[in-house]
Amino acid sequence: MKALFIQHDHVSPVGPVGQRLAHHGFEIETQLVVPEENFESPNVAFEFPNIDNYDLIIPLGAPWGAWDDDCIGNWLQPELAWIKNAVESGKPVLGICFGGQLIARALGGSVSRSPKAEIGWTYIWSEEPDLVSNGPWFQFHYDQWVLPGGVKEIARNPVSSQAFVINKSLGVQFHPELDSAGLKGWLDWGGDKKVQQDGQDPIVMMSQTAAEEEAAKQRTFQLVDNYLSKVANLI
């Protein structure tokens, strides 16, 4: 089996999600949409591959908005069409943060700025904890989705919707792939200032993430296992 990770920027490692898929025998492929040299001018052209070449597609997070056609429309609009085709055809898609927002928007929902950012380790309320646990999960987003009809919301918190299922696809608002190395990349590329602007200390956040890393990895492994067996039907 073959899994494709869509990395929208150069600091989006596959983390423990990729580790767990490799454990299940998946061949891992990554494709980068916005190269490092275009990080400040991300409206690049990108050709998305044939979904038939993959058993599972995982669009990861991004520092840009899934609503921001002016900023990233050259590849955002093609990706929305690509994701819509994948989900509606029954191809398993695991959308993470921006990736989950893509699914919601592609299927007729919407994505917009949230009244409140979520940054750091937070608990959610899951109606299906045997699929998506209550966490804590790491969050780093400023946006929220409004889900279209036909989508089953399965988790939320007081700030925003957190997880949904449709066909063989799962969208989550949080970052199960996040580990210390991934967070360091985000902080090094401007995330530290965003954390400070949110009234938090990035040094403490790094220490907290290192302390939480092993338990978080096990939660992610369980999430991947649950998704593959209960939704994607791949194991």
How many Å apart are CA 235 and CA 231, to the nearest integer? 10
Other beta carbons within 10 angstroms of residue 212's beta carbon come to 17
Based on its alpha-carbon atoms, the radius of gyration of the chain, rounded to whole angstroms, reads 16
Point out which residues pair with 163 in neighbouring strands.
Answer: 155, 172
**What angle separates helix 69-88 from helix 98-106, to the nearest 10 degrees?**
70
Q: Give the chain's largest Cα–Cα span.
A: 45
Pairing of strands 2-7, 27-32: parallel
| Residue (of 220, 224, 191) closest to 205 by Cα position | 191
- Coil/strand/helix, residue 68: coil
User: What letters, b where the CB count within 10 A reaches 16 and e where it falls short, cover 35-64?
Assistant: eeeeeeebbeebebeebeebbbbbbbbbbb
| Residue (of 40, 61, 49) closest to 139 by Cα position | 61
- Positions annotated as catalytic residues are 97, 175, 177
